[in-house]
Chain A
Amino acid sequence: MAELSVLGKRLPKVNSWAHLTGSAKYADDLFLPRMLYGRLLRSTQAHARITKLDVSRALAHPGVVAIVTGPDMPETIGIMPSVQDETALAIDRVRYVGEPVAAIAAIDEDTAFEAMSLIDVEYDPLPPILTIEDALREDLPKIHEKSRRANIFKEVHLSFGDLDAGFASADHMRDDWFFFEGNTHAPIESHSAVASFEGDGKLTIWTCTQVPHYLHRELEKALGLPRAKIRVVATPSGGGFGGKSDPFAHEFAACLLSMRTKRPVKITLDREEVFYAHRGRHPVKMRIKTGVKQDGEITAVHFQSWLDGGAYSSYGIATTYYTGALMTVTYRIPAYKFDGVRVYTNKPPCGPKRGHGTTQPRYALECQLDKIAVDLGFDALEYRKRILQPANSRTVNELRITSMGLGQCLDELGAKTKYSERHGQLPRGKGVGIAGSAYISGAGLPIYWNEMPHSGATVKLDRGGGVTVYCGTAEIGQGSDNMLASVAAECLGVRPEDVHVVSGDTSLAPVDLGSYSSRVTFMAGNAVKDAAWKLREWLLDAASERLAIPRECLVPADRRITDLRDPEQFVTFDDAVVLAEAKHGTLSAAGSYRPPQGIGGGYKGAGVGPSPAYSFQASVAEVSVDLETGVVTVDRITTAHDCGRALSPANVEGQIEGSAYMGYGEIMGEEQVFRGGLHKKPSLLDYKIPTSLDTPELEAIIVETIDKEGPFGAKEAGEGPLNSVIPAIANAVYDAIGVRFDETPITADKVLAALGKRDNRGMPKDRIGPEGMGDGQEAANAALRRLSFTTEAREKKKANA
Chain B
Amino acid sequence: MTKQLLTLNVNGESRTVAAEPHHTLLEVLREELQLTGTKHGCELGECGACTVLVDGVAVLSCLTLPMQVGDAIVTTVEGLADAGAGAPGREARKLHPLQTAFAEEGAAQCGYCTPGMLMSAKALLDGNPSPTRDDMAQAISGNLCRCTGYTAIYEAIDSAARMARGG
- Which positions in A face B, CB cutoff 8 Å? 10, 12-13, 15-26, 28-29, 31, 110, 185-190, 236-241, 270-271, 476-479, 650-651, 653-654, 657-658, 660-662, 683-685, 689, 691-693, 695, 697-698
8 A Cβ contacts from B133-167 to A: 136-138, 140-153
How many angstroms between the C-alpha atoms of A691 and B149 in the bound complex? 9
How many angstroms between the C-alpha atoms of A238 and B37 in the bound complex? 12
Inter-chain contact A477/B103, CB cutoff 8 Å:
no
User: Residue on A with the closest CB to B152?
Assistant: A654
8 A Cβ contacts from B86-138 to A: 95, 99, 102-106, 108-115, 118, 136-138
How many angstroms between the C-alpha atoms of A281 and B34 in the bound complex? 36
Inter-chain contact B149/A477, CB cutoff 8 Å:
no
How many angstroms between the C-alpha atoms of A660 and B136 in the bound complex? 20
Tell me whether chain B's interface is mostly helix, strand or loop, or mixed: loop
How many angstroms between the C-alpha atoms of A698 and B152 in the bound complex? 10
Inter-chain contact A695/B150, CB cutoff 8 Å:
yes
- In the complex, chain B residues whose CB is within 8 Å of the CB of A23: 37, 78
**Chain A nearest CB, measured from B60 CB (Å):** 12
Answer yes or no: B81 CB below 8 A from chain A CBs.
yes
Q: Knowing that A22-B80, A188-B39 are A-B contacts, what are 14 other residue pairs whose CB atoms are under 8 Å apart, sorted by A's residue number?
A: A10-B104, A13-B108, A19-B111, A20-B103, A20-B108, A21-B95, A187-B146, A240-B110, A476-B110, A657-B149, A658-B109, A660-B149, A691-B142, A698-B151
Inter-chain contact B46/A238, CB cutoff 8 Å:
no
How many angstroms between the C-alpha atoms of A481 and B108 in the bound complex? 14
Q: Choose from B43, B49, B102 the contact partner of A270 (Cβ within 8 Å).
A: B43
- In the complex, chain A residues whose CB is within 8 Å of the CB of B20: 110
**Chain B nearest CB, measured from A668 CB (Å):** 13
* With A29-B36, A237-B110, A693-B141: A271-B46 Cβ-Cβ less than 8 Å: yes
How many angstroms between the C-alpha atoms of A18 and B47 in the bound complex? 21
Inter-chain contact A684/B147, CB cutoff 8 Å:
no
Inter-chain contact B43/A21, CB cutoff 8 Å:
no
* With A21-B37, A657-B151, A692-B150: A188-B145 Cβ-Cβ less than 8 Å: yes
27 contacts between A and B (CB under 8 A): A10-B104, A12-B106, A13-B103, A16-B102, A16-B103, A20-B118, A21-B78, A22-B78, A22-B115, A25-B36, A188-B146, A236-B110, A238-B111, A238-B113, A270-B42, A271-B43, A271-B44, A654-B148, A657-B151, A658-B109, A658-B147, A683-B42, A683-B44, A684-B42, A685-B44, A691-B141, A693-B137
Q: Choose from B35, B42, B112 the contact partner of A239 (Cβ within 8 Å).
A: B112
**Chain A nearest CB, measured from B154 CB (Å):** 8
Answer yes or no: B61 CB below 8 A from chain A CBs.
no
Inter-chain contact A22/B46, CB cutoff 8 Å:
no
How many angstroms between the C-alpha atoms of A24 and B102 in the bound complex? 15
**Chain B nearest CB, measured from A721 CB (Å):** 10
How many angstroms between the C-alpha atoms of A691 and B46 in the bound complex? 11
* With A21-B78, A237-B110: A692-B140 Cβ-Cβ less than 8 Å: yes
Answer yes or no: B41 CB below 8 A from chain A CBs.
yes
* With A20-B99, A684-B46: A188-B152 Cβ-Cβ less than 8 Å: no
Inter-chain contact B111/A18, CB cutoff 8 Å:
yes
User: Residue on B with the closest CB to A691?
Assistant: B141
Inter-chain contact B146/A186, CB cutoff 8 Å:
yes
Answer yes or no: B58 CB below 8 A from chain A CBs.
no
Inter-chain contact B41/A20, CB cutoff 8 Å:
no
Inter-chain contact A477/B110, CB cutoff 8 Å:
yes
How many angstroms between the C-alpha atoms of A241 and B145 in the bound complex? 13
Inter-chain contact A188/B144, CB cutoff 8 Å:
yes
Inter-chain contact A21/B77, CB cutoff 8 Å:
yes
Answer yes or no: B51 CB below 8 A from chain A CBs.
no
- In the complex, chain B residues whose CB is within 8 Å of the CB of A239: 110, 112, 146-147
* With A12-B104, A13-B106: A684-B149 Cβ-Cβ less than 8 Å: no
**Chain A nearest CB, measured from B119 CB (Å):** 10
Inter-chain contact A271/B41, CB cutoff 8 Å:
yes
- In the complex, chain B residues whose CB is within 8 Å of the CB of A20: 77, 95, 99, 102-103, 108, 111, 114, 118
Inter-chain contact A187/B106, CB cutoff 8 Å:
no
How many angstroms between the C-alpha atoms of A525 and B81 in the bound complex? 34
How many angstroms between the C-alpha atoms of A793 and B115 in the bound complex? 60
Answer yes or no: B24 CB below 8 A from chain A CBs.
no
User: Residue on A with the closest CB to B23?
Assistant: A110
- In the complex, chain A residues whose CB is within 8 Å of the CB of B39: 26, 188-189, 238
User: How many residues on B have C-beta within 8 angstroms of the other chain's C-beta atoms?
Assistant: 56
Answer yes or no: B31 CB below 8 A from chain A CBs.
yes
* With A684-B42, A689-B144: A24-B149 Cβ-Cβ less than 8 Å: no
Inter-chain contact A685/B46, CB cutoff 8 Å:
yes
Q: Which of B31, B95, B149 has the most CB of A within 10 A?
A: B149
* With A189-B39, A683-B42: A477-B47 Cβ-Cβ less than 8 Å: no
User: Residue on A with the closest CB to B49?
Assistant: A188
Closest 7 pairs between A and B when the two form their complex, measured CB to CB? A22-B37, A477-B110, A19-B111, A238-B112, A661-B149, A22-B77, A29-B36
How many angstroms between the C-alpha atoms of A561 and B35 in the bound complex? 44
**Chain A nearest CB, measured from B18 CB (Å):** 13
Inter-chain contact A651/B146, CB cutoff 8 Å:
no
**Chain B nearest CB, measured from A689 CB (Å):** 6
- In the complex, chain A residues whose CB is within 8 Å of the CB of B113: 188, 238
- In the complex, chain A residues whose CB is within 8 Å of the CB of B35: 22
- In the complex, chain A residues whose CB is within 8 Å of the CB of B42: 270-271, 683-684
Inter-chain contact A477/B99, CB cutoff 8 Å:
no
* With A271-B43, A650-B105, A654-B106: A236-B141 Cβ-Cβ less than 8 Å: no
- In the complex, chain A residues whose CB is within 8 Å of the CB of B150: 661, 692, 695
Q: Which of A22, A25, A653 has the most CB of B within 10 A?
A: A22
**Chain A nearest CB, measured from B122 CB (Å):** 12
- In the complex, chain B residues whose CB is within 8 Å of the CB of A658: 109, 147-149
- In the complex, chain B residues whose CB is within 8 Å of the CB of A10: 104
Inter-chain contact B106/A650, CB cutoff 8 Å:
yes
User: Residue on B with the closest CB to A694?
Assistant: B141
**Chain B nearest CB, measured from A784 CB (Å):** 37
Inter-chain contact B111/A477, CB cutoff 8 Å:
yes
**Chain B nearest CB, measured from A569 CB (Å):** 34
Q: Choose from B36, B144, B151 the contact partner of A684 (Cβ within 8 Å).
A: B144
Q: Which of B114, B140, B151 has the most CB of A within 10 A?
A: B151
**Chain A nearest CB, measured from B132 CB (Å):** 13
User: Residue on B with the closest CB to A240?
Assistant: B110
Inter-chain contact A189/B78, CB cutoff 8 Å:
no
**Chain B nearest CB, measured from A716 CB (Å):** 15
- In the complex, chain A residues whose CB is within 8 Å of the CB of B46: 271, 683-685
How many angstroms between the C-alpha atoms of A237 and B103 in the bound complex? 18
- In the complex, chain A residues whose CB is within 8 Å of the CB of B31: 31
- In the complex, chain A residues whose CB is within 8 Å of the CB of B44: 271, 683-685
User: Residue on B with the closest CB to A687?
Assistant: B46
Inter-chain contact B36/A22, CB cutoff 8 Å:
yes
How many angstroms between the C-alpha atoms of A29 and B39 in the bound complex? 9
**Chain A nearest CB, measured from B81 CB (Å):** 6
User: Residue on A with the closest CB to B134?
Assistant: A693
How many angstroms between the C-alpha atoms of A654 and B114 in the bound complex? 14
How many angstroms between the C-alpha atoms of A693 and B134 in the bound complex? 8
- In the complex, chain A residues whose CB is within 8 Å of the CB of B136: 692
Q: Choose from A18, A21, A685 the contact partner of B80 (Cβ within 8 Å).
A: A21
- In the complex, chain B residues whose CB is within 8 Å of the CB of A477: 109-112, 147
* With A21-B99, A661-B149: A187-B112 Cβ-Cβ less than 8 Å: yes
- In the complex, chain A residues whose CB is within 8 Å of the CB of B49: 188
**Chain B nearest CB, measured from A220 CB (Å):** 28
How many angstroms between the C-alpha atoms of A290 and B119 in the bound complex? 53
- In the complex, chain B residues whose CB is within 8 Å of the CB of A237: 110
User: Residue on A with the closest CB to B22?
Assistant: A110
- In the complex, chain B residues whose CB is within 8 Å of the CB of A698: 149, 151
